[in-house]
A and B are shown apart, each in its own frame.
Chain A
Amino acid sequence: MVNEVNIDPKSRADMPTTSYSKPVIGATGKTGSWRTFTPQIDYDECSRCRTCWLHCPEAVISLDEDGTPHIDLDYCKGCACCAEVCPKKCIAMIREGFDEEESV
Chain B
Amino acid sequence: MTEPAALKLKDMLKKPEILTSGHRMCAGCAAPTIVKLMGMALRGPTIVCEVTGCLEVATTIYPYTAWKLPWIHVAFENAAAVASGVIEAVDVMREKGRWSKEHVDVIAIGGDGGTFDIGFGAISGMLERGHDIVYMCYDNGAYQNTGIQRSGGTFPGQETTTSWAGKVSPGKEQRKKPLAEIVAAHRTPYVATVNPYHHRDFITKFRKALEVEGPAFIHAFSPCPRGWRSQTGKSMELAKLAMEVGLHPLYEIFNGTEYKMSGPSRRLKELRPLDDYWKTQGQFKHLFKPEWADFKKSLQEQVNDDWEILKKKCGIE
Contacts and interface: CB of A to CB of B under 8 A. Distances in A.
Contacts of B21: 25-26, 31, 58-60, 72, 75
Interface string B139-176: 00000000000000000000000000000000000000
Given A21-B65, A23-B66, A28-B61, A79 B20 contact: no
Interface residues of B, number: 52
Interface residues of A, number: 39
A87 interface: no
A27 to B, nearest CB: 4
A28 B22 contact: yes
Contacts of A22: 63-65
Interface in B95-141: none
A28 B42 contact: no
Interface in B1-60: 3, 9, 12-13, 15-33, 36, 39, 42, 44-46, 59-60
Q: Is the interface of B mostly helix, strand, loop or mixed?
A: loop
Interface string B230-249: 01111111000000000000
A84 B236 contact: yes
A34 interface: yes
Contacts, number: 136
A27 B234 contact: no
Contacts of A5: 68
Given A50-B13, A56-B33, A80 B18 contact: no
A13 interface: no
Contact of B237 (A72, A78, A84): A84
A57 B30 contact: yes
Given A27-B22, A50-B13, A57-B29, A79 B232 contact: yes
Given A23-B65, A80-B28, A3 B46 contact: yes
Q: Is the interface of A mostly helix, strand, loop or mixed?
A: loop
Interface in A1-49: 1-3, 5, 19, 21-31, 34-35
Contact of A83 (B23, B30, B42, B233): B233
A26 B9 contact: no
Given A28-B61, A81-B235, A23 B27 contact: no
13 contacts: A2-B18, A3-B18, A21-B63, A23-B66, A25-B20, A27-B61, A31-B22, A54-B36, A56-B33, A57-B235, A59-B20, A79-B28, A80-B232
Given A2-B45, A23-B65, 10 more contacts: A24-B20, A27-B23, A28-B23, A31-B23, A31-B24, A59-B17, A59-B19, A59-B20, A79-B27, A81-B33
A-B residue pairs, 10 tightest by C-beta: A80-B233, A26-B22, A77-B27, A79-B28, A27-B64, A79-B27, A21-B65, A79-B232, A75-B21, A57-B32
Interface of B: 3, 9, 12-13, 15-33, 36, 39, 42, 44-46, 59-70, 196-197, 199, 225, 231-237
